[in-house]
Amino acid sequence: IIPTKPYTEDLLGLPVVNIRHVPLTNTFNMVCKRIVDIAGAIAAITLFSPVMLITAILVKATSKGPLIYKQERVGLHNQTFQMYKFRSMEVQSERKEKRAWTVRNDPRVTGVGKIIRRTSIDELPQLFNILKGDMSLVGPRPERPFFVEKFREEIPRYMVKHQVRPGLTG
């Protein structure tokens, strides 16, 4: 919350001036961030509730399956949690979806799904993940366990991102 002395860091050979260092290991900073997350999520849910209601009606009216899509993701301290989204694709078997990335013009995406994905409305249910404490408003995006295992081998220091709550915005 309170800025500390500026210092320079090396980022891929470029000097970068860092003017803030707010460690989340500090209890005060952690509590402040959590309060901001809760207040922000409540405000956003209140503000976007009409959009969420209309989206819910459209998703249910135009395709079969559950309204909310739940997917296992890896979060704080490598703990898994169920991340929520409005369902934007046709229902498929878990085996088929487990290792597949969504591609441009993916035939599995519904008509309503195209719109809610393009506008990021499909992400709004993650505000409830924030209230539950699984996620934060700002933080690294959570990934599926399969990809975490893959990336931990391929990307140096990849697992560092799991020292903070994953975020709705990255």
What pLDDT, on the 0 to 100 scale, is given for residue 22?
Answer: 62
* C-alpha span between 139 and 99 (Å, rounded): 24
Dihedrals φ, ψ of 106, to 5°? Answer: -60, 125
What pLDDT, on the 0 to 100 scale, is given for residue 6?
Answer: 72
Q: What angle do CA 23, 16, 74 make, to 5 degrees?
A: 45
User: For helices 111-118 and 27-62, what crossing angle results, to 10°?
Assistant: 150
* Lookup: tokens for 128: 């409830």
**Where along the chain do its domains lie?**
7-169
**Per-residue pLDDT tens listing for the chain (170 residues):** 455 667 777 777 888 777 666 667 788 888 999 999 999 999 999 999 999 999 999 999 999 999 999 999 999 999 999 999 999 998 876 666 655 667 777 888 899 999 999 999 999 999 999 999 999 999 999 999 999 999 998 998 889 888 899 999 97
pTM (predicted TM-score): 0.81
What pLDDT, on the 0 to 100 scale, is given for residue 170?
Answer: 76
Length, in residues, of the chain: 170
What pLDDT, on the 0 to 100 scale, is given for residue 31?
Answer: 92
* Lookup: tokens for 70: 């739940």
Asked if residue 170 lies in contact with residue 140, where contact means CB atoms within 8 angstroms, the answer is yes
pLDDT in tens, 90-116: 887 666 665 566 777 788 889 999 999
What pLDDT, on the 0 to 100 scale, is given for residue 133?
Answer: 96
Q: Write the single-letter amino acid at 34.
A: R
* C-alpha span between 14 and 36 (Å, rounded): 32
- Strands 68-74, 80-86: parallel, antiparallel or unpaired by DSSP? antiparallel
Where are any strands of DSSP class E within 100-156? 136-138
* C-alpha span between 108 and 116 (Å, rounded): 14
Asked if residue 131 lies in contact with residue 155, where contact means CB atoms within 8 angstroms, the answer is no
What pLDDT, on the 0 to 100 scale, is given for residue 19?
Answer: 64
* Burial (CB count <10 Å: 0-12, 13-18, 19+), residue 129: buried
